[in-house]
Amino acid sequence: MPPEFRTEDAPPYGTVEQVSPLVRRVVARNPSKFTYHGTGTFIVGPASGGQVAIVDAGPADDDHVAAVLRAVDGQQVTHLLVTHTHPDHSPATAAVAKATGATTFGFGPHPPEAIAAHDERVRRALEKGEEPESEDGEGAGDRDFVPDVVVADGDVLDGDGFAFEALHTPGHISNHLCFALREEATTFTGDHVMGWSTTVVPAPDGDLNHYLANLRRLLDRPEATYRPTHGPAITDPVPYVRALIEHREMRDHQIAAALAEGPRDIPSIVDELYVGLHEDLHKAAGASVYAHLVAMQRAGRAVAEPKDDADDWKADWRLS
């Protein structure tokens, strides 16, 4: 079983909520199966006057940008931090930077491997006369974002009255950063750890081995509160992260056991592991199994034997 998830009521869109002494949140009206009630843009610093940082300006949505700018009216935005380049996180950065003059910070542009995989999926879908995936889902990306300042793991970003330690946390996407706010022992976890749902790890740029390593790494850290981009805060992070790890390890064992009986393709593994799953969710389950298989392949534990059209999704997989 996955861990017990945390829920919250839909927040009031377009207004700012004070969630802790140093942190305010504005939620964008972009609810979806990837974003829960929407993207939470965090403003860090005193609530009036002085300097502030913004974590994940959010999607390209004029109303959201206006709400964020209203929230920081009369203050100086010194840092625009970007956890990663999915379309619900970084696109508003440019507009907010333009309006405030703030410096943008991120690990780097949208990863080439993610772009290539997305374009290939769109090409295949069009070839088959199917609807290609949407440009605002987790498979797509913000191809325009380029950080002013490239942030590496362990960098400390100092503001007036606040300091963040950056943690490079690839897994969900290779350019993912978390930001640990020292003053409140709080980590802004982006999509790396979310309370309302597990994290999708879209291979090949998404990497389950990296994801798990970066979950384990959190267990040794002192932060007691996580503020994900989507959904409520997590205030007991260690047992929660442990449950996330155990859930993936259980899946890994199940898939390895299935392959031990002979070569298998993804649909047959989904049928065996996700008994009773609604047909609409088979594709998502298949993507999760695929992420596990790619991780096993990268660790030298499994190999793909492509069938006729060299599509990994249709390959038979076996233990190596």
**Which residue is nearest to Zn ion, using beta carbons?**
86
Q: Which is nearer to Zn ion, 186 or 199 (CB)?
A: 199
Q: Which is nearer to Zn ion, 110 or 264 (CB)?
A: 110
Long-range contact set of residues 111-117: C-beta below 8 Å, sequence gap at least 24: 111/85, 111/141, 111/173, 111/174, 111/175, 111/205, 113/174, 113/204, 113/205, 114/141, 114/173, 114/174, 114/202, 114/205, 114/206, 115/141, 115/143, 117/202, 117/204, 117/205
As measured in angstroms, the least distance from the Cβ of 25 to Zn ion is: 17
Q: Decide: is 110 part of the binding site for Zn ion (CB under 5 A).
A: no
Q: Which is nearer to Zn ion, 194 or 270 (CB)?
A: 194
As measured in angstroms, the least distance from the Cβ of 112 to Zn ion is: 17
How would DSSP label each residue in 116-171? Answer: HHHHHHHHHHHHTTPPPPPTTSTTS--SS---SEE--TT-EEE-SS-EEEEEE--S
As measured in angstroms, the least distance from the Cβ of 138 to Zn ion is: 5
Q: Which is nearer to Zn ion, 24 or 176 (CB)?
A: 176
How many positions of this chain bind Zn ion (CB under 5 A)? Answer: 2
List 191, 205, 207, 223, residue binding Zn ion (CB under 5 A): 191
As measured in angstroms, the least distance from the Cβ of 74 to Zn ion is: 31
Q: Decide: is 136 part of the binding site for Zn ion (CB under 5 A).
A: no
> What residues from 81 to 100 belong to the interface with Zn ion (CB under 5 A)?
86
HSE-CB for 290 with a 13 A CA cutoff = 19
Chain residues binding Zn ion by CB under 5 A are: 86, 191
